[in-house]
Amino acid sequence: MPAPIAFTLNGKPVRLDVDGDRALLWVLRTELGLTGTKFGCGEGHCGACTVLVDNIASRSCLLKVRDVSRKEVTTVEGLARDGQLHPLQKAFLKHEALQCGFCTPGMLLTGAAFLRTHPQPTRAEIIQGLEQNLCRCGTHQRILQAMETAAAEMKGGV
């Protein structure tokens, strides 16, 4: 049954009357109008729906909207700050690390969360960090390069 749920979305407070059992993915894509978060598989296998919940990469197709109550949610639309692209977004552009772009939001958020906890990652660690995100166009090599570039630029900061 609809009930008020409040959380922070891309830095701004949000208060909604929704059924708390609904998947965060669909609430984001419909009521909240943020369609950058993609539906890819609906079962948590592909990672296209990844968002950050309190800076942890989470599959929004499996999360109930009540699970993010009073938490901080970041979607791809909130990754850039004050018109400045996140270093990983810049690195994706620099390395041409996307094709169809459908997996890109999930890759960026998974990658950004990973870089917060792994400021100086090895290639092997990056691979493990992104292993559960699927890209069908086969842009993996460039995404790995972009991750390394962003890690070097961020030097542990955001």
What is the contact surface with other proteins in residues (CB under 8 A)?
A: 22-23, 26, 29-30, 33-43, 45-46, 48, 75-77, 79-80, 85, 89, 92-93, 96, 98-105, 108, 126-128, 130-144
Which residues sit opposite 4 in a β-bridge?
Answer: 17
Angle between helices 140-154 and 123-130 (to 10 degrees): 120
Given the complex with other proteins, which of 100 and 158 has the nearer CB atom? 100
Nearest approach, Cβ of 135 to other proteins (angstroms)? 7
- CB of residue 86 vs other proteins: minimum separation in angstroms? 9
For the bound state, the minimum distance from the C-beta of residue 14 to other proteins, rounded and expressed in Å, comes to 17
- Nearer to other proteins by Cβ, of 7 and 130: the residue is 130
Nearer to other proteins, 31 or 72 (CB): 31
Q: How far is the CB of 57 from other proteins (least distance, A)?
A: 15
